[in-house]
Amino acid sequence: MCSASAELCDSTVVFPFIPLNQMTDSVVTLDNVTVSYGKNAALRDVSATFGSGAVGLLGPNGAGKSTMLKALLGFLKPDRGRMQVLGLDVAQKPLEIRARLGYMPESDSHIPGMNAVTFVAYCGQLAGLPFSDAMQRAHEVLYYVGLGEARYRNLETYSTGMKQRIKLAQALVHDPDLLFLDEPTNGMDPKGRDEMLELIRDLGHNKRVNLILSSHLLPDVEFTCDRVVVMDKGNVVAQGPIGELKGPGGRVFEVRVKGALDGFVAALKESGMDVHSTDEDVMRVFVPTDRSHAGGTDQQAIFAIAARQRVQVRHLRPSVPTLEDAFAKAVGEAAD
Amino acid sequence: MPIHDQSYRRYAGSKEAPGRAWSVIAYAGIRGMIRRRIFLALLFASWIPFIVYTVRIYFAANYPQLSPIAMTAESFRGFLGVQSIFLFFVTIWAGAGLIANDRRANALQIYLSKPLMRAEYIAGKFAVLAAFLLVMTWVPGILLVILQIVFSGSFTFARQNLFLFPAITVASFLTVIVASFAMLALSSLSKSSRYVGILYAGVMFFSEAIFGVLRLILGGTGASWISPPANLAQVIDVIFRLRPRYETPWLVSLLALAGLVVVSISVLERRVRGVEVVT
Residue B8, chain A, CB below 8 Å: the answer is yes
CA distance linking residue A231 with residue B232, whole number of Å = 56
CB contact under 8 Å between B28 and A112, yes or no, is no
Q: Does A40 touch chain B (CB under 8 A)?
A: yes
Looking at chain B, which residue has its C-alpha nearest residue A104? B110
Q: How close are the terminal C-alpha atoms of chain A, in Å? A: 9
Interchain CB contact of A198 with B (< 8 Å): no
Residues 6+ apart with CB under 8 A from A62: A233
CB-based contact A76 B106, cutoff 8 Å: no
Note the pLDDT of residue A293: 65
Give the Cα separation of B45 and B49 in Å (integer): 8
Best residue in B99, B113, B120, B194 for a mutation probing chain A (most A CBs within 10 Å)? B113
CB contact under 8 A, B107 and A109: yes
Q: How far apart are CA A322 and CA A295, in angstroms?
A: 22
- Among the partner residues B24, B110, B113, nearest to A125 by beta-carbon distance: B24
Burial of A39 (0-12, 13-18, 19+ CB in 10 A): exposed
For B8, nearest residue in chain A (alpha carbons): A144
pLDDT category, A11, cuts 50, 70, 90? Answer: very low
Average pLDDT of the residues in A223-230: 93
Q: How far, in Å, CA of A126 to CA of A116, rounded?
A: 15
The sign one gets for the Cα dihedral A149, A153, A158, A164 is: positive
Mark out the alpha helices in B18-163 (DSSP H runs).
Answer: 21-34, 37-45, 48-62, 73-95, 97-104, 108-112, 118-135, 138-152, 156-160
Q: Is the pLDDT of residue B153 over 80?
A: yes
Chain-chain contact of B16 with A203 (C-beta, under 8 angstroms): no
A121-174 pLDDT, tens per residue?
999 999 999 999 999 999 999 999 999 999 999 999 999 999 999 999 999 999
| pLDDT, mean over chain B | 94
Determine the average pLDDT of the residues in B193-219.
96
* A147 chain-B contacts, CB cut-off 8 A: none
Average pLDDT over residues B246-250: 95
For B77, B87, B239, B240, the CA distances from B74, given in Å and listed in that order, are 5, 19, 11, 7
pLDDT digits (tens, 9 = 90+) for B96-143: 999 999 999 999 999 999 999 999 999 999 999 999 999 999 999 999
pLDDT, position A7: 35
Residue B154 has pLDDT above 90, yes or no: no
Q: Does B146 have pLDDT greater than 70?
A: yes
A73 touches chain B (CB under 8 A): yes
> B15 vs chain A: nearest CA distance in angstroms?
5
Model pLDDT, residue A329: 66
Task: Assess whether pLDDT exceeds 90 at residue A264.
Answer: no
Predicted confidence (pLDDT) per residue in A266-318, tens digit: 888 888 888 877 666 788 888 876 666 666 778 888 898 999 988 899 888 88
Average pLDDT over residues A228-232: 92
Q: Which of A326-330, B150-154, B237-241 has the highest mean pLDDT?
A: B237-241
Range 244-283 of A in CB contact (< 8 A) with B:
none
Q: Is the CB of residue B45 less than 8 Å from the CB of residue B140?
A: no
Q: How many pairs of residues across A and B have Cβ atoms under 8 Å apart?
A: 126
Over the stretch A147-156, which tens digit does the pLDDT of each residue have?
999 999 999 9
Do B6 and A144 count as a contact with CB atoms less than 8 A apart? yes
Interface test with B, best of A86, A123, A126 (most B CBs within 10 A): A126
pLDDT digits (tens, 9 = 90+) for B29-77: 999 999 999 999 999 999 999 999 999 999 999 998 888 898 999 999 9
pLDDT of the residue at A146: 93
Residues from chain B contacting residue A175 (CB–CB below 8 Å): 10-11
Q: Would an 8 Å CB–CB cutoff place B23 in contact with chain A?
A: no
**Class of residue A238 by CB neighbours under 10 A (exposed 0-12, middle 13-18, buried 19+):** buried
CA of B28 vs chain A CAs: smallest distance (Å)? 8
Q: How far is B59 from chain A (nearest CA, A)?
A: 46
Asked if B7 has any chain A CB less than 8 Å from its own CB, the reply is yes
* Backbone angle region of A86, left / alpha / beta, with phi > 0 → left and psi within -120 to 50 → alpha: left
Contacts of A137 in chain B (CB under 8 A): 11
Over range A227-237, report the average pLDDT.
91
Q: pTM for the whole thing?
A: 0.84
Q: Which pLDDT belongs to residue A244?
A: 78
Please give the Cα distance from A230 to A239 (Å, whole number).
6
Within 10 angstroms of residue A142's Cβ, the number of other Cβ atoms is 27
Q: What ipTM, to 2 d.p.?
A: 0.90
Average pLDDT of the segment spanning A108-131: 95
pLDDT at A39 over 90: no
